[in-house]
Structure 1
Amino acid sequence: MAERKNGIECFQTGFLYFWVYSALGWIYEVFLEVVVYRWGFSNRGFLFGPYLPVYGFGALLILACLRPLSRRSLRVGKVNVMPVVVFLAVVALTTVVELITSYLLEWTTGGWLWDYTRYSIQWQGRICLSASLRFGVGGMIILYGLQPLLEKGMTRLGKKWRQVLFAVLFVLFIVDCVSRVLR
């Protein structure tokens, strides 16, 4: 039987999902930088810790907006085309998140952390088709693969350990955010 959670427990679990996806986003970015592009290592984040909050927010947004849709069926003849619809929705949603994030970072810091001007299909160096399609693939992995596994893991972790893990990671995240603002 599934655990029933109150508002605080939902927030704690949601933050843990946010943190996992933020950390996975950081790993993805560092992998691209070190292995794919061979530029060498640099902390890809706005914050000190090994996480990129834009990935966490994007993942939670994907889950909130598209998970119900991903569980439905839309058939054209005998073929379920809902995964294609969900993929396109993930691409659109994550592209908007990336665009908004670039403007927020520019407004708060004077610039943003990526530059797509070298890509053939891009807009203002802020968004590009290549990255949007990769985010689409990532969103599908989240919806259909990672999130179900994370939910099982959170259940197995138990309420007490979730609370401890939340407390430690939340304090570290808040300290990181505050120290960034004070720099």
Structure 2
Amino acid sequence: MWTREMFGTDVYHLISAFIIYSMIGWLVESIYMSFCNKKITNRGFGRGPFCPIYGFGGVVGYLILHPLSDHLIGLYLAGAVLATTFEYLVGRLMLKIFGEVWWDYNEKPCNYQGIICLESTIAWGFYAIIIITFLHSRILELVDRCNAQWGIMACRIILLLATIDYVTKLMKIFHVSLKEKKERLMDAYHSFRARWY
């Protein structure tokens, strides 16, 4: 699976880049919000240093935008529009699922529904330039410096920990206890068994 080619690169490099972007995004946003709030602020959904919206944004953004690497103005504009659209769609999805968005731009000038704002759109364009012209190649170099077996093991461990972290948080949000989950699984098992045995 890890060596399978997708979008001109292998799954190992894509997943590694996703993890690194998720962690860099968490770090940058947590530092920025800590500065704004004048106290240490964890901007991740869970407890760990992981924001998958930045992982998806970084990897998908690179895959879509890298053909524009020699056209900085086009890259800036496309990056700003693509990331703002992605942010808006994620915000609307969060509203539908959770009833709230985990960021609030209502105090920012030129915002739309508190989900997107001009300040972030401007920043997304610069992030696109940084990622496409500089950061992505450095991330791939870093991944290549590591032994692939150790790198794959690290990816598995990080994704497992992030999954546990997020599932635990979602269970708290939706008020699902482990006992209830076990009871539901047992009921489903007994129902399945009664049908087939």
State the distance in 1 between where 2:107 and 2:4 align. 48
1:144: how far off? Answer: 1.0
- For the pair 1:125 / 2:125, whether they are aligned, the reply is no
Quick one: structure 1 residues 173 and 38, their matched pair in 2 at CA, closer, same or farther if it must change by over 3 Å? closer
1:157: how far off? Answer: 0.8
1:158: how far off? Answer: 2.5
Q: Does the 8 A contact of 2:45 with 2:166 survive in 1?
A: no
5 Å-filtered alignment, 1:1-150, equals: 5-7=3-5, 10-35=10-35, 37-70=36-69, 73=70, 82-150=71-139
State the distance in 2 between where 1:172 and 1:87 align. 34
Using the aligned pairs only, state the percent identity.
27
Code of the residue aligned with 1:104 in structure 2: it is L
State the distance in 1 between where 2:87 and 2:62 align. 16
SS in 2 for 1:112: coil
Q: Root-mean-square deviation (CA), in Å?
A: 1.9
State the distance in 1 between where 2:93 and 2:169 align. 15
Q: Does the 8 A contact of 2:16 with 2:155 survive in 1?
A: yes
Q: Does the 8 A contact of 1:13 with 1:162 survive in 2?
A: no
**2:144 maps to which of 121, 131, 155:** 155
1:7: how far off? Answer: 4.4
State the distance in 2 between where 1:7 and 1:159 align. 15
State the distance in 2 between where 1:114 and 1:137 align. 20
Q: Does the 8 A contact of 2:5 with 2:11 survive in 1?
A: yes
State the distance in 2 between where 1:175 and 1:116 align. 29
Kindly provide the CA deviation profile for residues 13-43 of structure 1, in whole angstroms up to 9, marking residues without a partner as x.
Answer: 21221111111111111111122x2431222
SS in 1 for 2:10: helix
Runs of 4+ in 1 over 6 A off after TM superposition: none
Code of the residue aligned with 1:161 in structure 2: it is W
TM-score, scaled to structure 1: 0.85
State the distance in 1 between where 2:159 and 2:104 align. 30
Q: Does the 8 A contact of 2:84 with 2:121 survive in 1?
A: yes
SS in 2 for 1:23: helix
The gaps in structure 2 that reach 5 residues or longer are 173-197
1:49: how far off? Answer: 1.4
My pick for the range that moved more, 92-101 or 21-30, is 21-30
